[in-house]
Amino acid sequence: MKVRTLKLREAHKSINGNNDINPSFCSVLWDQQALHLVTASSSDPSISIHDPLLPSNPPKILRHHRDGVTALALSPNSTCLASGSIDHSVKLFKFPSGEFETNVTRFTLPIRALAFNKSGSMVAAAGDDEGIKLINTVDGSIARVLKGHKGPVTGLAFDPINEYLATVDSVGTVLFWELQSGGILHTLKGVAPNIISDTSFVNVVSWSPDGETLAVPGLRNDVVMYDRDTAEKLFSLRGDHVLPVCYLSWSPNGKYMATSGLDRQILIWDVDKKQDIDRQKFEDRISGMAWKPIGNALAVIDVMGKYGLWESVVPSSMKSPTEDIPSLKNSNGVLLFDEDPEPSTSGGLSEFGEDSLGESEPCSRKRLRKQSEFEDPDEDIDDELSLLPKTEPRKKVHRSSKDNLDKGNGLRSTVTSARLKMQEAFQPGATPPQRGKRRFLCYNMLGTITTVENDGYSHIEIDFHDTGRGSRLPSMTDYFGFTMASLNENGSVFANPCKGEKNMSTLMYRPFSSWANNSEWSMRFEGEEVKVVALGTAWVAAITSLNFLRIYTDGGLQRHILSLDGPVVTASGLKNQLAVVTHVSDCLPSNDQMLEFRVFDISNGTQPLTGRLPLTPGSHLTWFGFSEEGQLSSYDSKGVLRVFTSQYGGSWLPVFSASKEKSDESYWVVGLNASKLFCIVYKSPDMFPQVIPKPVLSLLNLSFPVASSDLGADALENEFIMNSMHLSQIQKRMEDMAGACLDTTALDDEAFNMEATQDRCILRLIASCCNGDKLVRATELMKLLSLEKSMKGAIKLVAALKLPNLAERFNSILEERLVNESKGTYKSPLLNSNDRASLTADAAISKTMVTSTGKNETPEPRIAFSSPTLSAPLFIKKANKQEHEKSYENQTVNAKTSMEPSNAEKVKSAENVIGVEVKMTGEVLKVQSQRPSNPFLKSSNNQETSKKDLDQLTSLHPSNPFKRTH
């Protein structure tokens, strides 16, 4: 075979910072119409756009990077050019104009690889950093970060059918990623050369144009072909390369392949015959190649920055490289940031399940997959995305059957995009199975249930966090293969799915103690399988694949069988309450799960709560349960914890966001209480806690994801919202206890103490508002104070800060509050309209009644359980009516508030004023009609309030201003 030579022309100079000539990695690309050639070099910060028809014309130069350009990618319709550089940035340009569009993302280390998906709606970027970023070109947002490689990622390739992303790193590991879930399907370790010591060439991967085969440089100076679905080695191209292959490129029709090696030659292969048909020798290594999309030619560039065009690559006697190109769906190309996206794009991720060969198969299709000898099951899990719902890729179908399908039904040839599969059912507190390793079946605030498979059966152990609870429970031999469990104080429940036709799903309950022997029981299901289990007080629940909710007593009596509206996602139990989450419908085009929750009261046979379960956009549910106080809670894969509250007719409040914490840590939720989140903290590449070593439980403060305000008091504002939520929870519990005719004294005191805590927080916020000159906001906060002592403290605070107008306004608010309380018309600022109506009715009942003798008699005040008000006066318990009336004889109160200025002392600081304990006594407070020495107070007409007006005032114990008089 004759060896020809090809003359190359210089496009970039391979000169480093010391003016030394060094080999550099260079790239070359064709546009869709073969009208332009794009070149770049890792030693040159500029990008060149050449005219291949007139190579003597000077190229168009794009100078936007500060360092060498290491990666190029063109969108399928050639309207957008992406470039990555050693300067850590990825930039987008309009093509072919070269107009700079945007910096789409930045890394902390150099970028080595870029690739567009087939529609151009997403670009993948990777390099020396840990993690591959999938970026929406519609809005520039980062859709996912894929983590799994141990070395720098040097090659990326979206498969033409848009189901997989193949990646390779500098140590020779190839990963197959499923785009819908972000999980790793296959791991091929050490199948490509180790090139970590040389950055002048890179490991690459490339899909065949029909998407059936992935080509990877091999370890024997060859190219190895792997099956798309099983990752099995199919065959290799091995010929006259005497050194490793450093770059490869498929012809447009997939019949030919060009490979360049470290031996400075290019071989052209007939892939079907597995033999080379032509070759070309060069002076330097060829680091980049690109087949001409229209015509029989190959563009090449070497490590010295010289490029050229190899014409008539394939002999004329053979089929042209552009003949019989596989028919895939035509792309509309990239959608730039200022363009309106097509309805079908949905940010790019909705196309991940798209079947480009005209097949419309259901999401439940199974993968024809064999275990690869290279696959490491322990690494078949991706960071934080491993629990995302997965859609199985399509089966391999022979081309002839595809052609027949297209010919037989023209409608079926229209491609339909498959949406993200609905999230699979999961057990809260369980970890995924790991071959040969112990896993958690249940991890909650009480204890853990672990299992490990051994010789076809499993050993299950139950451990309690409180070692003083009693003797350790003996381990159990599991012959059923239980995969889900739940644990509470009374016992544990286990279940397994179906494993074949003869192995039915089994539900088993084991109490920890019983007065009778053989108290353990089990149920077997034929034609259905258990998906989720839950436990409560004297009941066991199992939700099955037929959407049946089956409820049993702890003795095994079948009590109820309910039909749910949709497939179950998860369930959790606490005492008499069972909470179940189900799917409402298929996922939205934006890949958002549509979930609904229901809370059942098992003892009463009622359903007190139902509604939609909110999730962060693009996330899925990862934990669901009750707090220690019995508050329903959820946690999603984006790291947002929500709790359910009765406020606003029943709403979910975000009380924790992982994004506000350390970015390199993730949290595996175990439980929570009123103020703390109990979780296990783990870092990448771990995706969940391991049983051994024993994980450490961490406590994190709950906090709302408040916006950064202009006060700079985010912590105080968060505390204010959190206290308001706690007050609402206390009031709801008081109402529930009152409805059950239970004593609410303890909650009464707890609510009053919480109001005092909230007042202290509000006072600190008022001080911040005054310092930030936000006086209107300070006035709003003044109206939210509950205790009279706190309002007087606020007046002294603003007086000390020398804000006389604000002090006068505060004093007016206090006067109005006292008058309204004396008339029984005071309305708490924390109440909604319905609550205020209830409070007004209660106040009307407690007004002074006129007896037949014409004397006013004040009835004994009562606690208004039906009113959700949280203000201090409603929590006051007074003595009997005789003592109450006797106290009137010694008390008269003026509607004005006294504030004596002292010229002998200096005005104290704001912090000291807040901390001052204002002494409250039962003595009569009188105010003169006018006090010239106090410019902050309005004049008075020396009118005193009547005994009737005093009836509604708050009475505080003299020795403790935060303790009510009983």
Q: Closest by alpha carbon to 258, among 69, 13, 6?
A: 6
Torsion of the alpha carbons at 494, 498, 499 and 503, rounded to the nearest 10: 90
Contacts of 175 (CB under 8 A, 6+ apart): 148, 149, 166, 167, 168, 184, 186, 187, 188
Question: What mean pLDDT is predicted for residues 738-749?
Answer: 82
655-684 per-position pLDDT tens digit: 999 887 766 788 999 999 988 999 998 876
Q: Indicate the pLDDT class of residue 932, thresholds 50, 70 and 90.
A: very low
Specify the pLDDT at position 390. Answer: 41
Task: State the sign of the Cα–Cα–Cα–Cα dihedral 619, 622, 625, 627.
Answer: negative
| Whole-number percent of the chain with pLDDT over 70 | 73
Q: Are 471 and 490 in contact (CB under 8 A)?
A: no
Q: Are 331 and 345 in contact (CB under 8 A)?
A: no
528-582 per-position pLDDT tens digit: 999 999 999 999 999 999 999 999 999 999 999 999 999 999 999 999 999 999 9
Residue 430 above 90 pLDDT? yes
Q: Are 45 and 63 in contact (CB under 8 A)?
A: yes
Q: Which residue spans within 107-251 are E strands per DSSP?
A: 111-116, 122-127, 132-136, 142-146, 153-158, 164-169, 174-178, 184-188, 206-207, 213-217, 223-227, 233-237, 245-250
Residue 611 above 70 pLDDT? yes
Task: State the sign of the Cα–Cα–Cα–Cα dihedral 158, 160, 161, 162.
Answer: positive
Question: What mean pLDDT is predicted for residues 686-691?
Answer: 81
Interatomic CA distance for residues 806 and 810, integer angstroms: 6
Contacts of 123 (CB under 8 A, 6+ apart): 73, 82, 90, 104, 114, 115, 116, 117, 134, 135, 137
Specify the pLDDT at position 328. Answer: 61
Q: Indicate the pLDDT class of residue 884, thresholds 50, 70 and 90.
A: very low
Q: Are 597 and 611 in contact (CB under 8 A)?
A: yes
Query: 215: how many CB neighbours lie within 10 A of its CB?
Result: 25
Residue 370 above 60 pLDDT? no
Least confident range of 266-275, 789-798, 817-826: 817-826
Specify the pLDDT at position 685. Answer: 63
Using DSSP's 3-state secondary structure scheme, residue 227 falls into strand
Mean pLDDT, the chain, rounded, equals 77
Q: Indicate the pLDDT class of residue 749, thresholds 50, 70 and 90.
A: confident
Task: State the sign of the Cα–Cα–Cα–Cα dihedral 857, 859, 861, 867.
Answer: negative
**Residue with tokens 């770049």, as numbered in its chain:** 40
Phi, psi at 877, each rounded to 5°? -110, 125
**Residue with tokens 């009562």, as numbered in its chain:** 862
> What pTM, to 2 d.p., does this model score?
0.49
Task: State the sign of the Cα–Cα–Cα–Cα dihedral 225, 231, 234, 235.
Answer: positive
Residue 189 above 50 pLDDT? yes
Q: How far is CA 258 from the centre of its chain?
A: 43
Using DSSP's 3-state secondary structure scheme, residue 413 falls into helix
Specify the pLDDT at position 867. Answer: 33
Q: Indicate the pLDDT class of residue 424, thresholds 50, 70 and 90.
A: very high
Question: What mean pLDDT is predicted for residues 409-436?
Answer: 67
204-251 per-position pLDDT tens digit: 999 999 999 999 999 999 999 999 989 999 999 998 899 999 999 999
Question: What mean pLDDT is predicted for residues 620-634?
Answer: 94
160-185 per-position pLDDT tens digit: 988 999 999 999 999 999 988 889 99
Using DSSP's 3-state secondary structure scheme, residue 814 falls into helix
Least confident range of 751-765, 777-791, 896-910: 896-910
**Which amino acid is residue 359, in one-letter code?**
E
**% helix, strand, coil for the chain, step of 5:** 15, 30, 50
Specify the pLDDT at position 501. Answer: 58
Q: Which residue has the higher pLDDT, 468 or 47?
A: 47
Residue 186 above 70 pLDDT? yes
**Residue with tokens 């791991």, as numbered in its chain:** 187
Residue 917 above 50 pLDDT? no
Specify the pLDDT at position 661. Answer: 75
Partner residues linked to 493 by β-bridges? 486, 509
Question: What mean pLDDT is predicted for residues 827-843?
Answer: 44
137-150 per-position pLDDT tens digit: 877 888 889 999 98
Interatomic CA distance for residues 817 and 807, integer angstroms: 15
Q: Closest by alpha carbon to 382, among 136, 643, 686?
A: 686
Question: What mean pLDDT is predicted for residues 834-850?
Answer: 37
Size of the chain, expressed as the number of residues it contains: 966
Residue 2 above 80 pLDDT? no
Partner residues linked to 319 by β-bridges? none
Q: Indicate the pLDDT class of residue 388, thresholds 50, 70 and 90.
A: very low
Residue 378 above 60 pLDDT? no
Question: The tokens of 904 are what?
Answer: 């002998």
Exposed / middle / buried, residue 496 (Cβ in 10 Å: 0-12, 13-18, 19+): buried
**Which amino acid is residue 412, in one-letter code?**
R
Residue 845 above 60 pLDDT? no
| Whole-number percent of the chain with pLDDT over 90 | 47
Interatomic CA distance for residues 4 and 278, integer angstroms: 10
Q: Which residue spans within 209-330 are E strands per DSSP?
A: 213-217, 223-227, 233-237, 245-250, 256-261, 265-270, 275-281, 286-291, 297-302, 306-311
Angstrom CA distances, 239 to 25, 265, 268, 380, stand at 24, 12, 10, 34
Q: Closest by alpha carbon to 93, among 73, 108, 117, 112?
A: 73
Specify the pLDDT at position 184. Answer: 92
Specify the pLDDT at position 181. Answer: 86
**Residue with tokens 């008081």, as numbered in its chain:** 734
Phi, psi at 900, each rounded to 5°? -80, 120
Q: Are 505 and 548 in contact (CB under 8 A)?
A: no
Q: Indicate the pLDDT class of residue 478, thresholds 50, 70 and 90.
A: confident
Q: Are 683 and 666 in contact (CB under 8 A)?
A: yes
Q: Indicate the pLDDT class of residue 455, thresholds 50, 70 and 90.
A: low
Residue 798 above 80 pLDDT? yes
Question: What mean pLDDT is predicted for residues 410-432?
Answer: 66
Interatomic CA distance for residues 427 and 624, integer angstroms: 9
315-344 per-position pLDDT tens digit: 888 999 998 888 764 444 444 444 444 333
First to last CA, the chain: 108
Q: Are 495 and 542 in contact (CB under 8 A)?
A: yes
